Amino acid sequence: MRIVDTPEAMQLLSRSWRHDEQLVGFVPTMGALHDGHLSLARAAREQCDRFVASIFVNPLQFEAREDLEKYERPFDRDCRLLREAGCDAVFAPSVEAMYGARTTGSARPARTFVEVEGLGGVLEGKTRPGHFRGVATIVTKLFSIVGPRRAYFGEKDYQQLKVIEQMVRDLFLDVEIVPCPTVREEDGLALSTRNTRLTQDERKAAAVLSRALHEGVALTRGGERNAARLIESMRALCEAQPLVDVQYVAVVDSETLAPITELDDRPVRALVAASVGDTHLIDNMAL
């Protein structure tokens, strides 16, 4: 497995693979890998000739500087896990390489941004302004550099997945987005890098997010068609946990993320976001 730290070297490597008609798969990550990431890696390994993972903690998608600074960066462990997963190359560039000398006051910082209006402005986009602009911008850059035929994204970050899908469609990017199911702990908690920040009590309480979503699924299967009532039930479950501070519970169209009033035959998704202690957690399920 190669470790590549400049966009130029990555572009050369990937170009040589494409030249040899190797199908290139791509798993973008911010490192601090868990089984969720590794399930993406396994899919890429199975479905592609070559597979690149990127490790890049993207400053542009963090709202608070503090959150960015406390983001884990266990680089050697991540590389070991990716090697074991059969990864061909890890792309791990510096912030300076990806954004010019933006932070160091150079005369030529990167100033090009990709914005997905609509999808990028609701739910997480409302609580974290600029977040999806940061995501869309870095993913565009990574796609240009890695030039994958397929890219793997987890459904855990459902809105991110939809933002990326829309961006790829709108900009005609020549890459297939492959969604992969959320990986969960035994008690249902969706895997997330942020879970390690939870205290023992918070960790226990956090399982209520997936329990609430399962409740939404059960109620829907039981015939409930009214979104407000579904939201109320899910929210009530979460709010019964004193350590959980709900940001939103939403029932939306699976593609447009527009709020639903009455469920009909269209695919519908329930999404929940909450602070558990100081930690921001999100989860979602198809209803």
Among all residues, which ones are annotated catalytic? 37
CB 142 within 8 A of CB 114: no
- Nearer Cβ to its own copies, position 100 or 179? 100
CB 191 within 8 A of CB 35: yes
CA angle (68 as vertex; 66, 72 as ends), nearest 5: 110
- CB 141 to its own copies: min, Å: 5
If phi > 0 it is left, if psi is from -120 to 50 it is alpha, else beta; for residue 86 that is left
CA 87 to chain centre: 19
User: Candidates 71-79, 144-152, 233-241, 244-252 — which segment interacts with its own copies by CB under 8 A?
Assistant: 144-152
Q: 281: part of which helix (H) or strand (E)? A: strand 279-286
- CB 267 to its own copies: min, Å: 13
Residue 125 binds its own copies, judged by CB under 8 A: no
Q: Cα-atom radius of gyration of the chain, to the nearest Å? A: 19
- Identify the bridge partners of residue 286 per DSSP, sorted by sequence position: 269
- CB 160 to its own copies: min, Å: 14
Tokens encoding 212: 């609430």
- CB 114 to its own copies: min, Å: 6
Within 213-272, the residues that bind its own copies by CB under 8 A are: 255-256
Residue 166 binds its own copies, judged by CB under 8 A: yes
Within 95-124, the residues that bind its own copies by CB under 8 A are: 100, 107-108, 110-119
Binding site for its own copies (CB under 8 A): 7, 11, 15, 100, 107-108, 110-119, 136, 140-141, 144-145, 147, 166-167, 169-174, 255-256
